Amino acid sequence: MTHSATKLALNIKLWGKELGFADVGITNTDLSEHETAYFDWIDNGYHGEMAYMERHGTKRTRPTELEPSTLSIISVRLNYLDLSATSAIDQLHNDQHAYISRYALGKDYHKLLRKRLQALANYIAQEVPNFQYRAFTDSAPVLERPIAQKAGLGFTGKNSLIIHPRAGSWFFLGELYTNLTLPMDTPANKQGCGPCTACIQECPTQAIIGNGVIDARRCISYLTIEFKGSIAQELRPLMGNRIYGCDDCQLVCPWNKFTQDTTEPAFKANSHAKLSLDNAPLLSLWQWDEAQFLTRLEGSPIRRIGYAQWTRNLAIAIGNSQHLPLNSTISELQHKLGKLNELVDEHILWAVQQLKIRSKTALSPLESRKQIQSTKNKHSIHHPFIAPKYYLPVKCL
């Protein structure tokens, strides 16, 4: 490797940090060690109805089939967790409120990350004649996690996420496929999980079926975002109040005690002037019509699932609540019957049935108030549903 290539690699990392990336790594295009596992995962049907994951064949595992001129890949990570937002743990344990995956509290990351990668490419183009590249942000057949691991940005955890030993896992990944010949960084091949199985234990639907292997068909993130159909009845109660995504496996990961706050204003929970998604009551969100959904979530990644799917997800969360007022909530649910489609109606009727079952064993209003007050008086510290402990910086707990 020439001195100029080594110097360019160092400059790329400096430019990346100037642009706000938390880390920048470099690797080659050889992902052969990951190819068998990927296609085994596909063959087992663990990708669910994400047909695009099999449609591109080996383009995902062989970068040069996607971009023939690619010699080196620049992998970046960008922190997204807003530590000033309402506690994720408090929200998860408040079944009158909606839990939304922390990455979706702010504005859509795709455009921001793509623009940032373009800016990095512009720096390189000023120094390198005939520079060719293509930027990716979760938008093409790219094996971004194995690439990040090979580029030294972190090891692959048992929850399949990339985990940085000094920064946890709350970050986005992006890539630049380039025609440059650059020195590789040391891969993060050694898994740092040890005997810990907290993420496997805590997964609400037991979607982590092996070390780093996820059955998407059971994963709440897949079910609430990617899956358009009828959610299996046995999975609905396990979804709790999670209406868009799921973070449980990250919340119990010990490495996330090192989580770093995002420096991006766009990822802050209050970046939407019209609402704060980190502290949103379920019934308030349920009352939105489609126009309000589109307007209030303009610029949000949530908007892409559409109003019908949003309503489906909310219906399940409302049906799972043990503390919403019964009669008025049932009335609110029934008001939307016949307004969208049969699929949504199915989930609304399920939610109504769950609340009616609850009404038969409900406490009297006085007993209910006493129970709530007793719980408040005991402590305000929440514990995981299964795993031993939550791990986030102290100010976020």
Domain boundaries, the chain: 3-82+106-178, 198-260+269-396
**Which carries the bigger pLDDT value, residue 296 or residue 380?**
296
For this structure, is 138 an active site residue? Answer: yes
Lowest mean pLDDT among 51-55, 103-107, 324-328, 345-349: 51-55
Average confidence (pLDDT) over 266-271 = 84
pLDDT in tens, 178-189: 999 999 999 999
Helix (H, G, I), strand (E, B) or coil at 196: coil
CB 236 within 8 A of CB 320: yes
Predicted pLDDT at 272: 58
pLDDT in tens, 213-256: 999 999 999 999 999 999 999 999 999 999 999 999 999 999 99
pLDDT in tens, 119-141: 999 999 999 999 999 999 988 99
Res 101 pLDDT > 50: yes
Per-state percent for the chain, helix, strand, coil, to nearest 5: 45, 10, 40
Look up tokens 């399949």; give the residue: 160
What local confidence, expressed as pLDDT, does residue 274 receive?
59
Contact 143, 58 (CB under 8 A): no
- pLDDT for 271: 62
Spatial separation of the C-alpha atoms in residues 184 and 161, rounded to whole Å: 22
Residue 362 has pLDDT above 90, yes or no: no
Query: How many angstroms from the chain centroid is the CA of residue 318?
Result: 22
Model pLDDT for residues 105-121, shown as the tens digit of each residue: 999 999 999 999 999 99
pLDDT above 60 for 91: yes
The mean pLDDT value of the chain amounts to 92
How many other CB atoms are there within 10 angstroms of residue 341's CB atom?
11
CB 80 within 8 A of CB 103: yes
Catalytic position from the list 30, 43, 90, 138: 138
pLDDT at site 360: 80
In this structure, how many other beta carbons lie within 10 angstroms of the beta carbon of residue 243? 29
Contacts of 31 (CB under 8 A, 6+ apart): 61, 62, 63, 143, 146, 147, 150
Q: Give the largest CA-CA distance in the chain.
A: 77
Q: Mean pLDDT throughout 285-300?
A: 95
What is d(CA 42, CA 72) in angstroms, rounded to the nearest whole number? 27
Model pLDDT for residues 40-81, shown as the tens digit of each residue? 999 999 999 999 998 889 999 999 999 999 999 999 999 999
Can you give the pLDDT at residue 276?
Answer: 83
**Residue 306, both tokens:** 């559409």
At residue 169, the 3 state secondary structure works out as coil
Return the structure tokens found at 234. 């046995």
Task: Tell which wins on pLDDT, 253 or 271.
Answer: 253
Q: Average pLDDT in the 154-166 region?
A: 97
Closest by CA to 303, choosing from 77, 50, 100, is: 100
Average pLDDT for 146-161? 98
Global pTM reads 0.92
Burial of 164 (0-12, 13-18, 19+ CB in 10 A): buried
Rama region for 299: left / alpha / beta (φ>0; ψ in -120 to 50; rest): left
pLDDT of residue 374 exceeding 50: no
Contact predicate 149/184, CB 8 Å: no
Contacts of 318 (CB under 8 A, 6+ apart): 282, 283, 286, 324, 329, 332, 333, 351, 355
pLDDT score for 381: 77
